[in-house]
Amino acid sequence: MTENPITSGRVAGKVALVTGGASGIGRATAELFVREGARVAVADIAEDAVRRVAAELAGPDAPTLAFTLDVTSETAWENAVAAILDQWGRLDILVNNAGISFGKPLTDTTLDEWRRVTAVNLDGVFLGIKHGGAAMRRTGGGSIVNVSSASGIKPAPGAAAYCASKAGVRMLTRTAALELAPDGIRVNSVSPSGVVTPMWESMPFFAEMTAQLGSAEAVWAMLSKDVPLKRFAEAEEIALGILYLASDESRFVTATDLPLDGGYTA
């Protein structure tokens, strides 16, 4: 992670839950929250990885919890939120980051594939808002940040299921914000464009392009050609936007989507 010399305690004393926390944006966010003074519950479907990350981030003054969480399971959400309340007595911040990517022409996409993408990317956010919001209501409010995508704003041919699920996250965010505002709960989203994460490099097309172009660096350059800033974001740059929305600095911000896209959706 890029070294940050400033530690200002922007979420000091708060309790946060970050889904998809074992890698990429989720890990960067959990790490930043710990550094800024929060107690962080790191959740991911990858059991060994999430336990390792939580252990790596924990310190004498930075307790962490690790949860194996399938965000499509309502029971899993109920159990995770209950355990956080039992351990720390409150939930102040929820980052619904867990998601999957998927690319296939619409007419070749099976109904099972479509449902799998929407189950993780949209149903998982719904369940997080439902159960995280209920916990925050009991303890006086909080901030929910949902990770959408620039593909929920600007369509990407060949990724209809992904685009539709992420567009749904943006509208769900706005609706939930209006419903939960009377309880002191803010709900916002961020919409990154391409981010340098393991998810991208694990995609079959990335290996194919690397073989064709000769290096991963050449692939990143090709993928970034439509981004005005001519690069992908680092996960830490997305985490900084999430931190702002999670902290009290944004206490008058709700129902807002923050594009973190280098100008891609301009």
The pLDDT of residue 175 is 98
The pLDDT of residue 207 is 84
Contacts of 183 (CB under 8 A, 6+ apart): 133, 136, 137, 141
The pLDDT of residue 200 is 76
pLDDT per residue over 220-253, tens digit each?
888 899 999 999 999 999 999 999 999 999 999 9
Which amino acid belongs to residue 21? G
Alpha-carbon span 225 to 140, nearest angstrom? 45
Average pLDDT on 52-59 reads 95
Report pTM: 0.94
Going from the C-alpha of 3 to that of each of 63, 196, 240, the distances in angstroms are 21, 17, 13
Going from the C-alpha of 208 to that of each of 62, 76, 201, the distances in angstroms are 42, 37, 10
Q: Which residues are catalytic?
A: 162
Name all domains of the chain by residue range, CATH numbers in brackets: 15-195+234-260 (3.40.50.720)
The pLDDT of residue 1 is 45
The percent of residues in the chain predicted with pLDDT above 90, rounded, is: 85
pLDDT per residue over 176-196, tens digit each?
999 999 999 999 999 999 998
Is pLDDT of 198 > 90?
Answer: no
How far, rounded to the nearest angstrom, does the alpha carbon of residue 145 sit from its chain's CA centroid?
Answer: 8
Please measure the distance between the N-terminal and C-terminal CA atoms of the chain and give it in whole angstroms. 28
Is pLDDT of 59 > 90?
Answer: no
Beta strand ranges found along 69-184 (DSSP E): 93-96, 142-147
Average pLDDT on 63-90 reads 98
